[in-house]
A and B are shown apart, each in its own frame.
Chain A
Amino acid sequence: NAGVTQTPKFQVLKTGQSMTLQCAQDMNHEYMSWYRQDPGMGLRLIHYSVGAGITDQGEVPNGYNVSRSTTEDFPLRLLSAAPSQTSVYFCASTPRGMRETQYFGPGTRLLVL
C-alpha cells in the first residue's frame, strides 16, 4: 500500500490563481480530511468527508472547496489564492470503524506570492 499520497510536494502561486491539491489513499479508508499547518498554530481542519459524496466544513473552510466522488480521492481546490493561504497542507484518512486514528500524507507546501 502507498498509504496517503499528496501531490504536488511544493507549489508557488500568484495571488488570484487557482489550483487543486491532490490527495489519494489506497487503504479503502472511509474518512478523509484536509488540514493546514501554520507556524505556532498546530493543524487546523479545513474540510472533511465521511464517505464518497459527503463533505463538510471544518474550522477554516473559507477559500477552499472539496469534493469526494470516489473513496480514494479527496482533492482540495483553492479558488483564488491569497497570501494568507501560504501554508503546509496535510491530507489524512481514517479506516472504517477506527475513526479515531488518522493516517497523514507527507504534505504539500504552498507559497502564495
Chain B
Amino acid sequence: SQQGEEDPQALSIQEGENATMNCSYKTSINNLQWYRQNSGRGLVHLILIRSNEREKHSGRLRVTLDTSKKSSSLLITASRAADTASYFCATDLNYGQNFVFGPGTRLSVLP
C-alpha cells in the first residue's frame, strides 16, 4: 500500500461549508505537503508542515500534523465553488529527493 493515503476519496459539500481531508502515512517524514490539482492541470503547492510542527495556517487553509499517529488533516474553511479540485498530500522522506504522493481526495463544492 502507499506511503500516503487520503481520506475520503471523494467529498461533496455546499458552498460556505468547511471541508476536511485526512492523510495517513507509514514511515518517518521530514515534512508533509498538500497540493491542489484542478481538472486537467498540474499540481499547485498549498502548504507545507514540518515534522516538528503541529498546526499551520494559510488563509482559509488549516493543516495539522500528528506524527505519533502518522496523520495529517487539511481543513478548508468557508469553501467556494473555486475550491473544487483534487487534493493530494505528499510526504517528503529525504529533504526533497523523495516525495511520495497519496491517491488524492476529490472535493466538489456545490454552489
Contact = CB atoms under 8 A, between A and B. Distances in A.
Contacts, number: 61
Given A99-B96, A100-B31, A107 B41 contact: yes
Contacts of A44: 101
A58 B94 CA distance: 12
Contacts of A104: 35, 42-44
Interface of B: 2, 4, 30-31, 33, 35, 40-45, 48, 88, 90, 92, 95-104
A53 interface: no
Interface residues on A, range: 20 to 34
Among B4, B43, B88, which residue has the most Cβ atoms of chain A within 10 A? B43
Give chain A's interface secondary structure class: strand
A100 B92 contact: yes
Given A42-B4, A43-B88, A100-B33, A94 B96 contact: yes
B45 A102 contact: yes
Contacts of B43: 43, 90, 92, 102, 104
A74 interface: no
A42 B97 contact: no
A1 interface: no
Given A90-B42, A99-B95, A104-B42, 20 more contacts: A31-B96, A31-B97, A42-B103, A43-B88, A43-B101, A45-B99, A50-B97, A56-B97, A90-B43, A92-B42, A92-B43, A94-B96, A100-B30, A100-B33, A100-B48, A100-B96, A102-B45, A103-B45, A106-B41, A106-B42
A40 B103 contact: yes
A41 B9 CA distance: 11
Closest 8 CB pairs of A and B: A99-B96, A104-B42, A42-B101, A43-B101, A42-B103, A104-B43, A106-B42, A42-B102
A43 B35 CA distance: 11
